Amino acid sequence: MGSVGQQTNGALQPKYVDGALVPDVAQYGENPVTIRLTDEELRSDKTRWETIQQVLKYFHRDGLVVLENAIPQHMIDTLYEKIVADNDRFLAQPHMTWNQGAAPKNVSQVPPLEPEYLYREVYANSHMLRILDYILGPRPEFRFLNSNVACPGGSGRQAVHSDVHHAFPSNPFGIVMNTYLQDSSSANGVTEIWCGTHDKYEQAEQQVHPESGWIKKDFIQRQAKIKPPVQPQVKKGSIVFRDLRLWHAGMPNNSQNHRVMLAIDYFAEWYQCPMKLKLPSSVREDVEKNWGISTKGIEWVDGEMDCLAQPFFLNMTQDPSRYLVQTEKGFEDWRARETGKWNFDKGVVSEKNYWTPEE
């Protein structure tokens, strides 16, 4: 746990070392670091400056940090039960495509879009937004919403990859908040992460090809000697701040229950991301009045929206033509539109795509 100052008349006095404040924050782990919000922070919806300082420190160092005890448990449980109940119907959708093949049994499934499930505390969490202001700048834009579901019975893993495989900036421009809806570990397919890879290598040199962002084997082996990959233990209700440039990989779920994490993406306003997130007009007034976010990246849709009928749509580049969309033929990227060849996410994952310890 974090260092603490001395108690004086019942009040905690700050502690300084060489002129620097030593934050009184509960934290543990090293790869990655987990910062735990106090129950008072969760109850009051107010983030302590010391908490913000520590989250920023480790996010910039590692490209990923875990904020624990961030969301009321009953909201997490409600979302988990709904997404799992919807999963069978989603898998039957004609546009459904497994992420990196069927072996990992990993899918991207849009979470429920009915007003009763669109919790501000989840999608525009106050602690999350305060921290994002200091990473991305003022008024970061909400532009992507999905959930990643690791279904039971997976027999394979994903290749080590980065979510962005274009000429991206060398500073943070987009962050995904991976919010876990159950306690997660290697037993139920928590994501493998590679702390410190977000700003270590140039995009063009580290990736095998521009189609999918898979990382070259020699870079994987080299980085593992510096800081090896891990499948951390992440508690239910935690928000994992992950730089979009960070290497990671989906892993098989060996438990009997679905592993669900939300993917909530915010982008810096200066980045001018062209991607749009669709939300029902029925929540527009509440979002614009109470969520405290930029709605520049939201497209409002009249009438009911069936979340499971929404095809996966992604464009993290700055070019509107570079979008990726899920179709009945598979994932269609800009190359498919130019050549008619549907090659995205068709690679076969082997040992050349992930770390193999050297004796």
68: in domain? no
Number of domains in the chain: 1
Task: Dihedral sign for Cα 170, 175, 319, 109, please.
Answer: positive
In the chain, which stretches have pLDDT less than 70? Answer: 1-12, 359
The answer to whether residue 16 sits within a structural domain is no
pLDDT of residue 358: 84
List b or e across 264-278, with b for residues whose CB sees 16 or more CB atoms inside 10 angstroms.
bbbbbeebebbbbbe
What is the model's pLDDT at position 151?
95
11, part of any domain: no
Per-residue model confidence (pLDDT) at position 7: 45
pTM of the prediction?
Answer: 0.94
The DSSP code for 311 is P
Q: Which two tokens stand for residue 287?
A: 């979002």
Q: Pairing relation of β-strands 313-314 and 324-327?
A: antiparallel
Q: Report the Cα 318 to chain-centroid distance in Å.
A: 19
* The pLDDT of residue 12: 60
Whether 7 is covered by a domain: the verdict is no
What's at 163, amino acid-wise?
D
Contacts of 10 (CB under 8 A, 6+ apart): none
- Domain with 189 in it: what CATH number? 2.60.120.620
Q: Please indicate, yes or no, if residue 61 is contained in any of the structural domains.
A: no
Contact 122, 82 (CB under 8 A): no
**pLDDT reported for residue 284:** 97
The model's pLDDT over 188-235, given as tens digits with 9 standing for 90+, comes to 999 999 999 999 998 889 999 877 799 999 999 999 999 999 999 999
In a domain, residue 42? The reply is no
Residues 6+ apart with CB under 8 A from 329: 342
Question: Which residues neighbour 46 within 8 Å (Cβ) at sequence distance 6 or greater?
Answer: 126
Residue 10 lies in a domain: no
Burial of 57 (0-12, 13-18, 19+ CB in 10 A): middle
pLDDT (0 to 100) of residue 100: 86
5 domain residue, yes or no: no
Range of the domain at 307: 73-352
